[in-house]
Structure 1
Amino acid sequence: MSGPGSLPLPAGFSAYTGRIGLRAEGDDVWVVLGQPGTTCAAVFTKSRFAGPSVTVSRAHLATGRPRAAVVVAKNANVATGDPGRRDAEEVAALVAAAAGTAPEDVLVASTGVIGRRYPMDAVRSHLQALPPVPAWHAGPSDLARAMMTTDTHPKVAARPAGGAQVVGVAKGVGMIEPDMATMLAFVFTDAEVETATLDRLWRRAVERTFNCLSVDSDTSTSDSAVVFASGVAGPVDEIVLSQALSEVCLDLTLQLARDGEGATKLLTVTVSSARDDDQARRVAKAVLNSPLVKTAVHGADPNWGRVAMAVGKCSDDTDIDQDQVVIRFGDMETYPTDPGPEGLSRLRAIMAADHVDIEIDLGIAYGSATVYGCDLSDGYVRINADYTT
């Protein structure tokens, strides 16, 4: 379930949103601070062009005890060299001064156009004038809205976890195929959990959700997925907390997929009976990321052979035997059963829905995976053709 606009952050967190002036209107920066003792886990992009916000945050995660985060929207501060790194470090230091913590306890995230440094005069002036922490009363929807770029709406999700709450926010609808561990996701809980356990639960949740998401197969230079736990609600059963984290991440994943740039439909691809889960996800991503499959879904064109083509592209997986493969759209088998003219008419109706589910059985072993994405429309082309103008 998505969180309503009035949903608060879990206990132990204070949040601020404000406007530097990086976007035409609305807030474009936020800061969240957890109480002392807050634990943190995070995974970041594997991009070889990772931005300073990622490299600085990685260093702070390794050397500090992060309990705060700052997000700057509409400026990625990527491919900006050493000056960009110094800018990111200064942003962390300015937030730390306002929050009363150490710079290495602050994680930095940015999203927007690559190749432009922060306008540091404006950023510095704004962060130096932050109100005192007791006046920070922003909620999750405020945070989600302040970090939007081409998103059409804020993305918030929440679940109970025993006596604790788990609340998450995310952004990113283009340049989206997280390879982690411009998608940003932050989850907050008041559960008490040690760092090593939180890291293990978080990586498991990310691997099954955000890392199974693809809008356009492009991995951002700024991907960051972070979880903070304030501990105010006390210990929570590990299985219960793990389930809540996974459900919040899956909710956000589906929201991101549905809001993909120019998207009109949610597309899910499930591969079963694979050699292992890795093979299943690799084959599923090959189908999900195929422009021909995505455009067929957009136009409700019953050209199911494009799915067979995409599976066949996985040429290194020599144990895939086309005579053992089964392809279905929803509950309708399209291969090896010949759908015929009547079947194609039914398939067209299935593909006209706002959620198209493709299932592929490889007939090898017991691996499985589900991945999440969207169709490919002319709207995507228009948004990205005009992005910086």
Structure 2
Amino acid sequence: MPHKYLTWPTGFRAYAGHGGLREHGDDISVIASDRPAVSAAMFTKSLFAGPAVALSRAHAAGRRLRAVTTLAQNANVATGREGERNAAEVVGRVAGILGIPADEVLIGSTGVIGRPLPMDTIRAHFDAAAERGLAAYDAGPLDVARAMMTTDTRPKTAERAVGPARLVAVAKGVGMLEPDMATMLAYVVTDAALSPAELDGALRTAVDRTFHCLSVDTDTSTSDTVAVIANGAAGPVDPAEFAAALADLCLDLTLQLARDGEGATKLLRVTVERAVDPAQAKRVAKSVLNSPLVKTAVHGADPNWGRVLMAIGKNTDETTIAPDKVSVRFGAVEVYPDEPGPDTLAELTAAMRKDEVDIVIGLGLGQAAATVYGCDLSAGYIRVNADYTT
């Protein structure tokens, strides 16, 4: 969970300031290493990926990212050649302030789609920042996490330690969280020394088990980015221990993102066990997690397990699934195939009223399992998104 005294790993520094993207509060941030670094990154698969993603993909291919800058409140998507030029200009200005090559800077841009960036105010902002130099600024992870927020209700940070090294992460995201990552920007910086290949492998494994298992509303963002930058200042660490720490840190962020889903009042966790393979387990779990009828039942603490069976049954391509092999639990209470009796209904209702609701499904087919993470569906989600640009 976010901590006000959280600091960056050795060799990292950050800036956060107001650049006119929103009316009040910081909306531009930069995180940078004071020495060369190696990196790994993953991006949205959306066909409408924005200029920030296209530029960052190209820069990330060199695996030598050293800094990341984020613009909040404007996604700079569907803005044509002007959007491409503006993204490149922002990266160039950040690189100039830091005194590093532009292709060592990653850019994230998040917010409203289809609106050009207000470059006059952004230019004035960076001009002022350049006069002081980034070294004069001392924003902490919580400051950067706040500056990245759009409809988030709270900043998201996390940290872990591996030997002499630390991993510190910031993230944002509350909607458009499906199917691969999220409307999510997540940056991890570490002073561990690893090879680019070790970093890339650890990130891909972690993302597959965490951010790829996250969904709020089944919509895919145009701006999803997750990146890890390692500057090696703390020296080498065991790659397996680092990978485990990174996965744990990403799970921490995933749960924070799910709990803060737009309009969310509860964390919803769906586990499918005894599946043929992990892919089948994830598909079935996602179909339950994404069902509006399941999500509204969770919101209302209504133990309507018939909706869970419906969500399993709509996987018509899963021909190995047989109703007589399926079991369903809400919390610790089995609801199918054996309907709970009067003595357990009170326990079931209490489980549904908790801030975290677990649904566990057994398919009776094999040994594979998967867990996915999301939230309930409330009237608050409609209110946030009905008035988003007005």
Deviation at 1:64, TM superposition (A): 6.6
Q: Could you state the TM-score of these two structures normalised by the residue count of structure 1?
A: 0.97
The Cα RMSD (Å) is 1.3
Q: Secondary structure at the match of 1:261?
A: coil
Give the match for residue 7 of structure 2. 8
Give the match for residue 303 of structure 2. 302
Residues 44 and 181 in structure 1, CA contact (< 8 A), matched pair in contact too: no
Cα distance in structure 2, aligned partners of 1:93 and 1:22: 19
Residue 339 in 1 paired to residue 328 in 2?
A: no
CA separation of 1:351 and 1:64: change in aligned 2, threshold 3 A:
closer
For residues 39-64 of structure 1, give each alpha carbon's deviation from its aligned partner in whole angstroms, at most 9, with x where no partner exists. Answer: 11100000111011101100111247
For residues 16-51 of structure 1, give each alpha carbon's deviation from its aligned partner in whole angstroms, at most 9, with x where no partner exists. Answer: 111012112110000111133211110000011101
**Letter aligned with residue 36 of structure 2:** G
Deviation at 1:3, TM superposition (A): 4.1
Give the match for residue 217 of structure 2. 216
Cα distance in structure 1, aligned partners of 2:325 and 2:363: 6
Cα distance in structure 1, aligned partners of 2:386 and 2:342: 38
Give the match for residue 94 of structure 1. 93
Q: Secondary structure at the match of 1:112?
A: strand
Give the match for residue 159 of structure 2. 158
Map residues 40-119 of structure 1 onto 2, 5 A cutoff: 40-63=39-62, 65-119=64-118
Deviation at 1:175, TM superposition (A): 1.2
Residue 283 in 1 paired to residue 284 in 2?
A: yes
Residues 176 and 182 in structure 2, CA contact (< 8 A), matched pair in contact too: no
Q: Structure 1: which 4+ aligned runs deviate by more than 3 Å? A: 340-346
Cα distance in structure 2, aligned partners of 1:182 and 1:323: 38
CA separation of 1:82 and 1:92: change in aligned 2, threshold 3 A:
same
Give the match for residue 196 of structure 2. 195
**Letter aligned with residue 89 of structure 1:** A
Cα distance in structure 2, aligned partners of 1:343 and 1:350: 11
For residues 300-332 of structure 1, give each alpha carbon's deviation from its aligned partner in whole angstroms, at most 9, with x where no partner exists. Answer: 111111001001111111111111111001111
Cα distance in structure 2, aligned partners of 1:35 and 1:203: 26
**Letter aligned with residue 188 of structure 1:** V
Give the match for residue 370 of structure 1. 371
CA separation of 1:181 and 1:346: change in aligned 2, threshold 3 A:
closer
Deviation at 1:366, TM superposition (A): 1.5
Cα distance in structure 2, aligned partners of 1:380 and 1:63: 39
For residues 363-385 of structure 1, give each alpha carbon's deviation from its aligned partner in whole angstroms, at most 9, with x where no partner exists. Answer: 11111111111000000000100
Cα distance in structure 2, aligned partners of 1:164 and 1:65: 19
**Letter aligned with residue 140 of structure 1:** P
Give the match for residue 21 of structure 2. 22
Map residues 257-336 of structure 1 onto 2, 5 A cutoff: 257-336=258-337
Residues 173 and 182 in structure 2, CA contact (< 8 A), matched pair in contact too: no
Give the match for residue 358 of structure 2. 357
Cα distance in structure 2, aligned partners of 1:250 and 1:184: 14
Give the match for residue 137 of structure 2. 136
Residues 178 and 210 in structure 1, CA contact (< 8 A), matched pair in contact too: no
Cα distance in structure 2, aligned partners of 1:281 and 1:197: 26
Cα distance in structure 1, aligned partners of 2:55 and 2:371: 33
Cα distance in structure 2, aligned partners of 1:3 and 1:243: 21
Unaligned runs of 5+ in 1: none
For residues 92-149 of structure 1, give each alpha carbon's deviation from its aligned partner in whole angstroms, at most 9, with x where no partner exists. Answer: 1111011101111111101100001111111122123213132121111011000001
**Letter aligned with residue 28 of structure 2:** V
Give the match for residue 243 of structure 1. 244
CA separation of 1:271 and 1:64: change in aligned 2, threshold 3 A:
closer
Residues 38 and 63 in structure 2, CA contact (< 8 A), matched pair in contact too: no
Deviation at 1:172, TM superposition (A): 0.6
CA separation of 1:250 and 1:292: change in aligned 2, threshold 3 A:
same
Cα distance in structure 2, aligned partners of 1:347 and 1:304: 11
Give the match for residue 34 of structure 2. 35
Residues 45 and 178 in structure 1, CA contact (< 8 A), matched pair in contact too: no
Cα distance in structure 1, aligned partners of 2:170 and 2:314: 35
Residues 112 and 182 in structure 1, CA contact (< 8 A), matched pair in contact too: no
**Letter aligned with residue 105 of structure 2:** V
Cα distance in structure 1, aligned partners of 2:5 and 2:133: 22
For residues 165-218 of structure 1, give each alpha carbon's deviation from its aligned partner in whole angstroms, at most 9, with x where no partner exists. Answer: 011111011111251593110111110011111000011111111111111111
Q: Secondary structure at the match of 1:270?
A: strand
Cα distance in structure 2, aligned partners of 1:154 and 1:3: 7
Cα distance in structure 1, aligned partners of 2:285 and 2:30: 37
Residues 72 and 111 in structure 1, CA contact (< 8 A), matched pair in contact too: yes
Cα distance in structure 2, aligned partners of 1:49 and 1:3: 32
Residues 329 and 347 in structure 1, CA contact (< 8 A), matched pair in contact too: yes
Cα distance in structure 2, aligned partners of 1:229 and 1:378: 42
Give the match for residue 184 of structure 2. 183
Residues 175 and 182 in structure 2, CA contact (< 8 A), matched pair in contact too: no
Aligned residue pairs, count: 388
Cα distance in structure 2, aligned partners of 1:146 and 1:339: 48
> Once the two structures are aligned, what percentage of the paired residues are identical?
60
Q: Secondary structure at the match of 1:323?
A: helix
**Letter aligned with residue 41 of structure 1:** A
Unaligned runs of 5+ in 2: none
